[in-house]
Chains A and B, each alone.
Chain A
């Protein structure tokens, strides 16, 4: 019996998943070279990739560790500002910080260094908040993080910090997604990468989260989610693991914030509202609390609906001479809200429940096998 230890072979469903993901990346790369860069498709893909990362980071906390945080917008804000402040080229600082004599920071970091720094600063703030709050009951974290997000938004707009944060003025002219395009000597784009690179960044970050979830640490997180008391009795240090999950989640929210800054090309603190956190929360719920695949899919669906597919509802439409009723500015939001209400009411477990892509592929094959 004992020397009959099962040698775990590589799961074909996992291989198939890897293949599908590879195809998506190849598809994005090709699409970017052949379709006009102004297509709505790329707006959706860029913002979708950004939201996917933030949603997965939120799911790591809410879905896998079972602690509820509402600070995502706050950590994104920290990430976006950190990234923007350290990457604005020195020659542009005078114009960006026009009310603050060009600001105090007179150096520039490479974009990826600034992006990692964005995550680290966000994680540091999470650590500070977590220190007192995570020892209390779970509910306090939601309140504390919600408050934190509001406070940090106010602080960053504070005029006294202007030489660093530019006060309530916009930060701009930092490298954005278009900076990833490769141009020739005349400034003409030869290879488009402005969608591919954000996909790559989000993909790598999400992969790191998935690897973490499938290690002993991920198991400990899930045990806390399923039963705190039992986890503690088995020797799982609750405060330590919650702090870890919270800091990691915030790190990736910070990186996501940096990506959002790149997507928007400008950053202003006042746009990182609580409503943004609720948007992310909604994405997580629609995708399935406890499913990384669900969060990713629902990010793209959500962004596509809100930015693209439902746009026509905002414009007056004519079929022949007949004006379609109800279609006017703002109607999109009404339809959008109704769709979300239906999903939340009737598909409580979201698109994926707690399943992941490989689970779906496995199930398919099993059913086929039975037939």
Chain B
């Protein structure tokens, strides 16, 4: 059994106005800056006045009850929806008017709450789609099998295997993605997202449907990914052990509004959060 790494205590410091990021990220551009971000669906304010600054190598959590607007925020960041208010800067770049593909190229990758793999394609090919903008060749090269085709295909294969190895999945490379067990599908989604070479990785409920052992492994892996790739991770999760275990900053959402922000310790002892979220959960569950 691998030993679970514990989150080292991160010193959080204030960044310009009232944003808080890890001290080690201070010298560098924040990877994400949202200001007054909002969207309405026919009058319903799904997200309202959302402000967030993420450090370059920060692991952040986005939590809140069902329907709070967490997934909607991911959809706003990746331009699945265009925001009706506010702005999003990625690594200092204003994303106004950008498409999903532009944002992907700018360095945002995501996984989906309801797994969206390419089910009829092999595990390796799923990862290769992630590499699609990294290692490419033109159509003529592809059809007529010019030498460049073989070098690029080999590069893709090697890179895909290297990424799959993070989760020990390289032996499954030829398996059809749709036939993988649930936990493995979630892991493959993370690998596929990593293949796009992101600066910011958005994980929508990565531990959903995983058993406690798998969740522990996932926590370990998220930390490892952050350390090796030096990227920022923002995750939505209902599993409080995971959130409190690895997130450095946490943002709590309720009815589309941020009701609290802070370190895990601060969030755990915040009466507003306990009432809106944790308290409710205790009543219903354990």
A residues with CB within 8 A of B? 1-2, 5, 8, 208, 211-212, 215-217, 219-220, 222-223, 225-227, 229-238, 244, 290, 354
Q: How close is A236's CB to chain B, nearest CB, in angstroms?
A: 6
Q: Do most interface residues of chain B lie in helix, strand or loop, or is the interface mixed?
A: helix
A8 to B173, CA, bound (A): 13
B118 touches A5 (CB 8 A): no
8 Å CB contacts to A: which residues of B137-187?
A: 137, 139, 142-145, 149, 152-153, 156-158, 161-162, 165
A215 touches B129 (CB 8 A): no
B112 touches A217 (CB 8 A): no
Residues on A with C-beta less than 8 A from B80 are: 229, 233
A-B pairs with the 7 shortest C-beta distances? A215-B142, A235-B104, A226-B118, A230-B116, A235-B133, A232-B100, A223-B129
**With A5-B158, A212-B139, A226-B121 already in contact, 5 other A-B pairs whose C-beta atoms are closer than 8 Å:** A216-B128, A219-B121, A229-B116, A233-B104, A234-B129
B residues with CB within 8 A of A? 78, 80, 99-101, 104-105, 109-110, 112, 116-121, 125, 128-130, 132-133, 136-137, 139, 142-145, 149, 152-153, 156-158, 161-162, 165, 192-193, 195-196
Residues on B with C-beta less than 8 A from A8 are: 157
**Out of A1, A216, A227, which one reaches B132, CB within 8 Å?**
A216
The answer to whether A226 and B142 touch (CB under 8 A), given A219-B128, A233-B100, A234-B132, is: no
CB-CB nearest in chain B for A225: B120
Residues on B with C-beta less than 8 A from A244 are: 139
A178 to B164, CA, bound (A): 55
Q: How close is A258's CB to chain B, nearest CB, in angstroms?
A: 20
Scoring B80, B130, B165, B195 by chain A CB atoms within 10 A of each residue's CB, the highest score goes to B130
A231 touches B129 (CB 8 A): yes
**Out of A2, A216, A230, A290, which one reaches B117, CB within 8 Å?**
A230
A236 touches B129 (CB 8 A): yes
A226 touches B119 (CB 8 A): yes
**Out of B104, B136, B195, which one reaches A216, CB within 8 Å?**
B136
Provide 30 A-B residue pairs closer than 8 Å at the C-beta atoms, listed in order of the A residue: A1-B165, A8-B157, A211-B144, A211-B145, A212-B139, A216-B137, A217-B139, A219-B125, A219-B128, A220-B129, A220-B132, A222-B118, A222-B125, A223-B121, A226-B118, A226-B120, A227-B118, A229-B116, A230-B117, A230-B118, A232-B99, A232-B104, A233-B100, A233-B104, A233-B109, A233-B112, A234-B132, A235-B105, A238-B101, A354-B120
A37 to B47, CA, bound (A): 73
A234 touches B130 (CB 8 A): yes
Q: Do most interface residues of chain A lie in helix, strand or loop, or is the interface mixed?
A: helix
Residues on B with C-beta less than 8 A from A220 are: 129, 132
A167 to B146, CA, bound (A): 45
**Out of B136, B156, B196, which one reaches A234, CB within 8 Å?**
B196
Q: How close is B121's CB to chain A, nearest CB, in angstroms?
A: 6
A227 to B162, CA, bound (A): 24
**Out of A212, A226, A230, which one reaches B143, CB within 8 Å?**
A212
A235 touches B110 (CB 8 A): no
A236 to B131, CA, bound (A): 10
CB-CB nearest in chain B for A214: B142
A234 to B107, CA, bound (A): 10
A216 touches B142 (CB 8 A): yes
A219 to B130, CA, bound (A): 11
Q: How close is B135's CB to chain A, nearest CB, in angstroms?
A: 8
Residues on B with C-beta less than 8 A from A230 are: 112, 116-118
A211 to B153, CA, bound (A): 13
Q: How close is A33's CB to chain B, nearest CB, in angstroms?
A: 33
Residues on B with C-beta less than 8 A from A223 are: 118, 121, 129
Residues on A with C-beta less than 8 A from B110 are: 233
Residues on A with C-beta less than 8 A from B158 are: 5
B143 touches A211 (CB 8 A): yes
B128 touches A227 (CB 8 A): no
A2 to B161, CA, bound (A): 10
Q: How close is B165's CB to chain A, nearest CB, in angstroms?
A: 8
A227 to B158, CA, bound (A): 25
A236 touches B116 (CB 8 A): no
A235 touches B116 (CB 8 A): no
Residues on A with C-beta less than 8 A from B104 are: 232-235
A208 to B139, CA, bound (A): 11
